[in-house]
Amino acid sequence: MWHGSIRSPEIAEQAAYYGDGFFANHIFWPPEHTRRMVGLYRQRFEHYGHGAADQAIVGLGGHVFMRKNSQDAIREFRPYFDNAPVYGHGPSLEEYMAQTPLTVGSPQQVIDRVLSFREYVGDYQRQLFLIDHAGLPLKTVLEQLDFLGEIVPVLRAEFARLKPPHVPEAPTRASLKAARDAAATEVER
C-alpha cells in the first residue's frame, strides 16, 4: 500500500498515520519540494510510532532520457523538450535539468543522479522512472526501456550497498503474508 502525492502534505500525513509507504511525485518540480514532503512524512511516521524517521518507506519518481553518449542524449531530446506541452518554450533544457530531477545523458550520468536523490530524501526503497514523456515515439521509448535494463541492476546493487542495516526493505505482498503467517503461528503457540 502506497500513498502518492504531488503537493498535498495531507497525503504524507495519511501515509504516516497508517505506516504505509509514501510515494513522492518528484518530477517537473524542484527537489526542495520533495525534500520537504518526504521530511514531513518521515517525521509523522515516527510520531505515529511506526519506527524511526529514517525507517519510513519512501518511493520517488524521476524522469530520464538516455543515450550511450551524453551529447547524443542532449541533442536528440532537446527538440522534444523544447516543444513538449509540459516543458516547452520556458526554461532551457539545461536550466530545467538543474532545477528539477530531469536527467538527460548517458546511463552512468543517470545512475549518478539517481544515487544523489538519497542525499535529500534519505535512504529510500523504490524508484520509478518516467520514460515515455515529451512526445517521444514508441520506438525511442522502447530503446529507453533497454537502457533502463542496463542501469537498474547497478542501481539495485548500489542502493543495497549504501543502505544502513536498520532501514527496512519496502513491504511486499509476500513479506506481509509471511509476517502475518508468522504472527498467527506465534498466537497458536
Partner 1 sequence: MSDTTAPTRTVAVVSAGLSQPSSTRMLADQLAAATRDALTERGVRVELPVVEVRDHAHAVVDHTLTGFPPAGLEPVMTTLTSADGLIAATPTFNASYSGLFKTLFDLLPEDALTGVPVLIAATGGTPRHSLVLDHALRPLFSYLRAVVVPTGVFAGPDDWAGGAAEGLLRERINRAATELADEVARRPPRRPTDPFALPASFEELLGRGGQS
Kindly state the smallest distance separating residue 75's Cβ from partner 1, in Å: 22
* Number of residues this chain uses to bind partner 1 (CB under 8 A): 23
Residue selected from 4, 14, 128, 163 as contacting partner 1 according to rule CB under 8 A: 14
Strand partners, 55: none
Residues 6 or more apart whose CB falls under 8 angstroms from that of 93 comprise: 74, 77, 78, 81, 82, 104
Is residue 89 a contact residue for partner 1 (CB under 8 A)? yes
Query: Interface with partner 1 includes 28 (CB under 8 A)?
Result: yes
Choose among 63, 29, 56: nearest CA to 40.
56
Closest by CA to 66, choosing from 116, 111, 96, 98, is 111
Q: Does 17 bind partner 1 (CB under 8 A)?
A: yes
Among 51, 91, 122, 171, binds partner 1 (CB under 8 A): 91
Handedness of CA 156, 133, 57, 105 (dihedral sign): positive
Among 87, 124, 129, 147, interactor with partner 1 by CB under 8 A:
87
d(CA 189, CA 182): 11
How far is 9 from 41, CA to CA, in rounded Å?
A: 8
Does 16 sit near partner 1 (CB under 8 A)? Answer: yes
Q: How far is the CB of 64 from partner 1 (least distance, A)?
A: 18
For partner 1, the closer CB: 89 or 139: 89
Give the one residue of 1, 9, 71, 72 binding partner 1; rule: CB under 8 A: 9
SS3 state of residue 148: helix
Tell me which residues touch partner 1 (CB under 8 A).
9-10, 13-14, 16-17, 28-30, 33, 36-37, 40, 44, 87-91, 95-96, 99-100
